[in-house]
Structure 1
Amino acid sequence: MQSRPEADDHDDVSAALLAQLRSTTASGRVLTGGPEYEKAVRLFNAAVDIRPSVVVRCVTTADVQAGVRAAREHGVPVSVRGGGHDFWGRALRPGGLVLDLTGMREVHIDADRGVATVAGGALSSDVVVAAERAGLTAVTGTAGAVGMVGITLGGGYGPLTGRFGLAADNLLGAEVVLADGSRVDTDTEHEPDLFWALRGGGGNFGVVTSARIRLHPVPTVVAGTILYPISQGHRILADLDEILRNSTDELTVDVGLLPGPAGAPAVYVAPTWSGSLDEGAAEKGPVHRLTRLGTPLLADVGPAARSAGLAATDAMFPVGRMGAIRTRTVAGMSEKIIEIVEHSAHAFTSPFSAILLHQFHGAATRVPVGSTAFGRREPHRMVEIISLWEKGGAGTGDPGGSRHLRWAEQLHAALEQFSLPGGYVNFLGPETPDQVAAAYGPNTGRLLAVKSAVDPDSVFAGTPLPSAATAPAPTAG
């Protein structure tokens, strides 16, 4: 993929663009090539091969504003890099200008108010580690290396969803650079429509350079990993479905199927108990009950810092593999769905792939659907279909990834008739327009109205948005 268009006047435009950028930003932070440029365009998914024209390593909001204005003036597409974990590589655009926020990772904890002020490039682990020092924690996803702002804007399923809602539900306010380069502060009282859209509407409305996030006094949870052999899978998954339908807010459980340590797939159960540690750690309590559903291959649960769980997921899914992701939303683990995921687990094409189901329940379901842009509030499971492989790695036999991608697509297709409309917007790409069209449900019309008001030229495209033709009528705020 070419890094620059071939128009005759492009070099002149690039020279003018670079001159403007370097007049407002230190020249060493305006990158068009070299080792630092290569580092800046290296993302979590090594299958992404997108070459932007210029990377601006931002360290202040003013840097972001200058970058947005320069890109607009010179007709260059803009993208924003935070954690860089998007599977489609939307942190980069071909021939574009990247606003690289990885130098903006400051986290300030106001322990008295229970609030974290988080810079736009901070990782989830940055926030959780800082909060733990004050005896607090933040609602995040399962991985620490994911950008905190990015996961929050798209929704943010995670191990505290049942107790405290989505990451988006814990967003209290934000500083945003808009498409014209202006800066605004938004919360429930200031620019309320924009704030509504940021809570679940994805990175489509501006560059969030700072976010204020609600914290909670739960730095230690009871958590861990339980693995069961696939031979017990059907019964384990069916029993878990019944347990999770009736679980308390304090218990959120990720369930999945992984290639097991001996080669055969295994059922993965990852509970997080955020209530009383004594109750959660009790031998007859709600967490240890999950170790007695069958005969486990591994049962390692107990009190742990939340940061330890994030680090464990990062180790399981390291940066640099090639991959693809798909998503479905299901009401629960029906007999047919269990059969489908078991069949797909037996057909894993790579030892690094996974099928994960994230529980949506409790506090997250009690947020009115129209109060944020996130489009689905009834209890459900978000299915994460992850296909990962190493380029030219031993045993993959397919450095191009076609058979690994085909495995993910086949599972995605097999689940369609048993799935609810839409899907998790952070995991949706251009190849599933039907899911994109339904992703925001009754909030679609209002979301597109906000987009039209704050970014009518679609400068920002962090995650897919439906087209106006597919939008139902706006709901009341």
Structure 2
Amino acid sequence: MDSATLDEMRTTLRGPVIAPGDTEYDQARTIYNAMIDKRPAAIVRCADAADVRAAVGFARDQGLELAVRGGGHSGPGLCLVDDGVTIDLSPMRGVRVDPATRTARADGGSRLGDLDHATHAFGLATPTGIISMTGVGGLTLGGGHGYLTRRYGLTADNLIAADVVLADGGFVTASAEEHPDLFWALRGGGGNFGIATSLTFRLHPVDTVGAGVTVWPVDHTREVLAWYREYLPQAPEEVYGFFTVFVIPPGPPFPEELHGHKVCGIVWCHTGDPGRLDETLSVVHEAGRPAFHFTAPMPYVALQGMFDELIPTGYQWYWRGDFFDHIPDAALDIHLKYGENNPTQLSLMHLYPVDGAAHRVGPDDTAWSYRDAVWSGVFAGVDPDPANAETIRQWCVDYQEELHPYSMGGSYVNFMGSGEGQERVRATYRDHYDRLARIKRTYDPDNLFHANQNIEPARR
């Protein structure tokens, strides 16, 4: 970027424009995944939607590459771009709750923790992910799933409206009544269609929930997962539990004698009668005697932040994902194999339920194209040491590729890794891809927003 353009941006925008050589530059280009090392020509920390519009105009008119950062949680680092402009929404973190209408409006840089903190004060929540540092915008545009999904649907299912800056600098509100085609695409189509500067959500009564963690020795993976695949889909929708293989971290709630042990387990969230928590989760003994079983009532907002300190910003990450509608016996052996060969303290696999209320939304009602999926799986190699980057990457790739034949073919877009290719994007959107490509042509015909799992504009 030439100095005249940089100076003009700094004069025009309210928020700071950070360039190489500035003292804040290295911190500003740091994201959750330390495996990513990209060097933008400018990082624009937008103060408001007007800054976003201006920054989009500068990038478009100068022919610069453009990326958008919300929470900075993109696994493949799509929120940064070498030698171009990163539009950083992180200063835009306001949340306004209307308890009378049970709605919340979150600015585009808000994180899940911001939204949960604001809504919890009124005993309300909307379904989101399980790490409170995750950006609300990226999670929502990809679909979004977590502890409340079986009862209240995807994050995108609870989106009511979004303010969006378009590639041509236009500013629109997308909802069921206004720009309904764009609204359809935003609910699962990722960041392909514009920059969401605010998102408005439907809220539900959620306050104290029943939290639980149950673990078994890793060599019990086959038996436990065989039980889980039958139990969870027929369980009441107020019962949520994701299955995982991982290594017990040091610290509570786990006893010291389990620290460092490879295990399989289930993390629970119960939104039913708090007095029936222990009775409801007593079914875990049907899978065999656990090595550890913990339950406790907990504010929902506390459960949402439970894993934040375990996997903070600055670790090496590589992840991939797949959707599953069943778990055959052959898959049980694969999970056991990779659980036993987990390469690092923090590497993991999760199977998140995406059934229940998420299945009651029509298959063509949103861009999310896997309404028939029962689980959204993620395979993640994680470690603080850059020397282990290739080890964790290979474990993740091998795990996902060996299990992939038993998948539905596509992945949750927010769990896609780097370099998976355009055919993988098509598989993720199935027969929705062509409709999305036509909407892309309407709102971003030149594909300005392509630093994402990209949907290419349809040809005329």
TM-score range, shorter chain: over 0.9
Q: Distance in 1 between matches of 2:103 and 2:78?
A: 29
After superposition, residues 80-99 of structure 1 pair within 5 angstroms as 80-99=68-87
Which residue of structure 2 aligns with residue 390 of structure 1? Answer: 384
Q: Does 1:452 align with 2:434?
A: no
Q: Distance in 1 between matches of 2:40 and 2:388?
A: 23
C-alpha contact 2:128 2:144 (8 A) present in aligned 1? yes
* Deviation, structure 1 residue 430: 4.7
- SS of the aligned residue for 2:433 comes to helix
Which residue of structure 2 aligns with residue 309 of structure 1? Answer: 303
Q: Distance in 2 between matches of 1:468 and 1:441?
A: 16
Q: Does 1:284 align with 2:279?
A: yes
* Deviation, structure 1 residue 339: 0.5
After superposition, residues 422-437 of structure 1 pair within 5 angstroms as 422-433=410-421, 434-437=423-426
Q: Distance in 2 between matches of 1:33 and 1:213?
A: 40
C-alpha contact 2:233 2:374 (8 A) present in aligned 1? no
Structure 1 468/422 Cα, relative in aligned 2: closer, same or farther at 3 Å?
farther
Structure 1 142/27 Cα, relative in aligned 2: closer, same or farther at 3 Å?
closer
Question: Match for 2:54 among 63, 66, 69?
Answer: 66
Q: TM-score, normalised by structure 1?
A: 0.90
Q: Aligned AA for 1:52?
A: P
C-alpha contact 2:321 2:378 (8 A) present in aligned 1? yes
Q: Does 1:443 align with 2:432?
A: yes
1:53-107 deviation per Cα after TM superposition (whole angstroms, max 9, x unaligned):
0011111110101100011111111111111011111111110111111100000
After superposition, residues 209-358 of structure 1 pair within 5 angstroms as 209-260=197-248, 261-279=258-276, 281=277, 283-285=278-280, 287-290=281-284, 293-358=287-352
Q: Distance in 1 between matches of 2:447 and 2:21?
A: 27
After superposition, residues 151-230 of structure 1 pair within 5 angstroms as 151-230=139-218
Which residue of structure 2 aligns with residue 5 of structure 1? Answer: none
* Deviation, structure 1 residue 313: 1.7
C-alpha contact 1:223 1:301 (8 A) present in aligned 2? yes
Which residue of structure 1 aligns with residue 251 of structure 2? Answer: none
Which residue of structure 2 aligns with residue 21 of structure 1? Answer: 9
Structure 1 291/106 Cα, relative in aligned 2: closer, same or farther at 3 Å?
farther
Q: Aligned AA for 1:275?
A: G
Q: Distance in 1 between matches of 2:413 and 2:205?
A: 29
C-alpha contact 2:69 2:80 (8 A) present in aligned 1? yes
Number of aligned pairs? 449
**Range that drifts further, 105-114 or 434-443:** 434-443
Q: Distance in 2 between matches of 1:293 and 1:412?
A: 25
1:405-451 deviation per Cα after TM superposition (whole angstroms, max 9, x unaligned):
11111111101211112111111245323322211122111111111
**Range that drifts further, 78-87 or 219-228:** 219-228
C-alpha contact 1:437 1:465 (8 A) present in aligned 2? no
Q: Aligned AA for 2:59?
A: A
* Deviation, structure 1 residue 110: 0.4
Q: TM-score, normalised by structure 2?
A: 0.94
After superposition, residues 116-135 of structure 1 pair within 5 angstroms as 116-135=104-123
Which residue of structure 2 aligns with residue 461 of structure 1? Answer: 450
Q: Aligned AA for 1:383?
A: G
Q: Aligned AA for 1:271?
A: W
Q: Aligned AA for 1:302?
A: A
Q: Aligned AA for 2:301?
A: S
Q: Aligned AA for 2:43?
A: V
Q: Distance in 2 between matches of 1:46 and 1:147?
A: 17
C-alpha contact 2:80 2:86 (8 A) present in aligned 1? yes
* Deviation, structure 1 residue 169: 0.5
C-alpha contact 2:362 2:371 (8 A) present in aligned 1? yes
Q: Aligned AA for 1:37?
A: Y
Q: Distance in 1 between matches of 2:160 and 2:15?
A: 35
Q: Aligned AA for 2:113?
A: S
* Deviation, structure 1 residue 290: 2.5
- SS of the aligned residue for 1:316 comes to coil
C-alpha contact 1:426 1:463 (8 A) present in aligned 2? no
- SS of the aligned residue for 1:266 comes to strand
Q: Distance in 1 between matches of 2:85 and 2:73?
A: 18
Q: Distance in 1 between matches of 2:18 and 2:163?
A: 23
C-alpha contact 2:66 2:451 (8 A) present in aligned 1? no
**Range that drifts further, 459-468 or 429-438:** 459-468
Which residue of structure 1 aligns with residue 103 of structure 2? Answer: 115
**Which ranges in structure 1 are unaligned for 5 or more consecutive residues?**
1-12, 393-398, 472-477
Which residue of structure 1 aligns with residue 41 of structure 2? Answer: 53
1:347-370 deviation per Cα after TM superposition (whole angstroms, max 9, x unaligned):
111111001111111110110111
C-alpha contact 1:66 1:181 (8 A) present in aligned 2? yes
C-alpha contact 1:445 1:468 (8 A) present in aligned 2? no
Q: Does 1:147 align with 2:142?
A: no
Q: Aligned AA for 2:130?
A: T
C-alpha contact 1:55 1:100 (8 A) present in aligned 2? yes
* Deviation, structure 1 residue 262: 4.1
Q: Distance in 2 between matches of 1:185 and 1:132?
A: 26
C-alpha contact 2:323 2:373 (8 A) present in aligned 1? no
Q: Does 1:381 align with 2:375?
A: yes
After superposition, residues 385-424 of structure 1 pair within 5 angstroms as 385-391=379-385, 399=387, 401-424=389-412
Q: Aligned AA for 1:445?
A: D
1:244-288 deviation per Cα after TM superposition (whole angstroms, max 9, x unaligned):
121122112111100234434101201111223233x2x322x23
Q: Aligned AA for 1:390?
A: P
Q: Distance in 1 between matches of 2:15 and 2:88?
A: 14
Q: Distance in 2 between matches of 1:59 and 1:288?
A: 50
C-alpha contact 1:429 1:464 (8 A) present in aligned 2? no
